[in-house]
Amino acid sequence: MSDRPSIEKEISDTKKTISQLEKDIKQLRDWISGNERSLGGMSETLRRITEEGITRARADLAQRENEMQRQRGSLAENEKLLGLLTEQ
């Protein structure tokens, strides 16, 4: 079993990671949305390149969302563990 200071540090680190992931996810969503809106006015070549970029961004977005869910699960587990240690 881990000690209280190490769990508190892990909680703090996880919260920072989640915060950064939230920022990254918002930026990716905004980028995807902005590029989807501008597709109509693009030449065929530029549209294909942009669509490929959007596809890659969506894959990256899915990975980051999965990572954020994993981090949130880890945070919940550590907060629960810290609560149990506090009760003792």
pLDDT of residue 85: 86
Packing angle of the helix pair 4-38, 44-87 (nearest 10 deg): 160
**pLDDT at 1 exceeding the cut of 60:** no
- What average pLDDT does this structure show over 21-43? 96
Q: Report which residue type is found at 41.
A: G
**pLDDT at 16 exceeding the cut of 70:** yes
Look at residue 2 and give its three-state secondary structure.
Answer: coil
Q: Are 66 and 33 in contact (CB under 8 A)?
A: no
| Residue that the structure tokens 């977005």 belong to | 61
Would you give the distance in Å from CA 6 to the centre of its chain? 23
